[in-house]
A and B are shown apart, each in its own frame.
Chain A
Amino acid sequence: MTNLNPRAPLPGEEPWEIAGLTLNSRLLLGTSRYPSMQVLLDALDASGTGLVTVALRRVDPNVGADGESLYDVLVERGLHLLPNTAGCFTAKEAVLTAELGREALNTSLVKLEVIADEETLLPDVEELLVAARELVSRGFQVLPYTTDDPIIARRLEEIGCVAVMPLGAPIGSGLGIRNPHNIQMIKERAGVPVIVDAGVGTASDAAMAFELGVDAVLMNTAVAQARQPVRMARAMRAAAIAGREAYLAGRMPKRFWGEASSPMDGRVTTGFHAGQQAAWP
């Protein structure tokens, strides 16, 4: 899987669109908690992602710029940046942070995150809906991080969000897709892309999300905190392709009992009847 251009699509990676961007990879990656900048960049390359999240934080202007900033290296690599409102607990904080992100990154995209408390890191959906309404009215393209509640997902779409991003499990938990049926219900009724955000812990979680039919998966800790982040990024890329291809292929129906794959006619018999106790020798 060594591509000269890491952004070149692999078989199974078909271009898709989100908020006016055309992307090859259906993986969106966070840029946090990596052991080093180099590992981050190598992992992003290995994943094939074209869209990565960043946070906005106060920076001491007296410190000045020491070397290349994160912004510079990500943009140099041709990555699209998705500013988030991580760490915001109220709609008001989230709206101001989104405005700062739009100004700093010159993008109207925002990953809207309004957190209820620090222990669960679950979305505060009341504040989320208020912030989403305000940001849509201010011309943002809002990608809201939300619960796996199909009703809230629908409401966010009605407000005018360009995607909905239900969680698989709490942020950083790595618990996988805890309620696959809800994710499927959200996808079935959505007219905008559905992106599973948070909860993915390993490749099979990502594959499962795609088998449910979602359009993309956003992950961070699963890659960043793997023992070998670059290898995990590669695994996630393969899982995304496998899950998406399996979804498109259409899985076989599940059966309670077995069904023979080889023909029963013309097989060698010894007078033994099914259900009889076999004697050997």
Chain B
Amino acid sequence: MTTITAQINGEARALRVGTTLADLVPPEWKQGVAVARNEEIVPRAAWATTPVAPGDAIEIVRPVSGG
């Protein structure tokens, strides 16, 4: 199986070639989640059509308690 390496929330991860952003987000997180790829927001509607490229820096964030 061919894999690529990308940074997911700051950690290097091996991913299948063709992995999209949609594959990285648990399906039960329907709301209250945002994804950025190389410091650019990727809207939810584009997750399924955005493949992760080698070396990408992906951020997956959710709201947590804050002041």
Contacts and interface: CB of A to CB of B under 8 A. Distances in A.
B63 A81 contact: yes
Contact of B67 (A56, A58, A84, A103): A84
A32 interface: yes
B65 A31 contact: yes
B61 A61 contact: no
A57 B63 CA distance: 6
Given A96-B36, A104-B34, A71 B63 contact: yes
Contacts of B35: 103
B48 interface: no
A54 B8 contact: no
Contact of A55 (B10, B43, B66): B66
B28 A56 contact: no
A70 B25 contact: no
Question: A30, A54, A59, A72 — which one has the most chain B CB atoms within 10 A of its CB?
Answer: A59
B62 A104 contact: yes
A103 B43 contact: yes
Interface residues on B, range: 20 to 34
Contacts of A54: 63-66
Interface string A62-106: 001100011110010000010110100000000010011111111
Contacts of B65: 30-34, 40, 54-55, 70
The prevalent SS among residues of A at the interface is mixed
B34 A101 contact: yes
Contacts of B66: 30-32, 53-55, 84, 86
Contacts of B24: 61
A65 B64 contact: no
Contacts of A30: 65-67
A19 to B, nearest CB: 18
Interface residues of A, number: 39
A100 B34 contact: yes
Contacts of B59: 58, 100
A253 B8 CA distance: 62
A61 B32 contact: no
A251 B63 CA distance: 42
Contacts of B63: 54-56, 69-71, 81, 83, 101, 104-105
Given A55-B66, A96-B36, 14 more contacts: A32-B66, A40-B65, A55-B63, A56-B64, A58-B59, A61-B25, A70-B63, A70-B65, A75-B32, A84-B66, A102-B41, A104-B32, A104-B61, A220-B67
12 contacts: A55-B63, A55-B64, A56-B64, A58-B59, A61-B24, A71-B31, A71-B63, A75-B31, A96-B36, A99-B34, A100-B34, A220-B67
Interface of B: 8-10, 24-26, 28-29, 31-36, 39, 41, 43-44, 59-67
Interface of A: 30-34, 40, 53-61, 64-65, 69-72, 75, 81, 83-84, 86, 96, 99-106, 171-172, 220-221
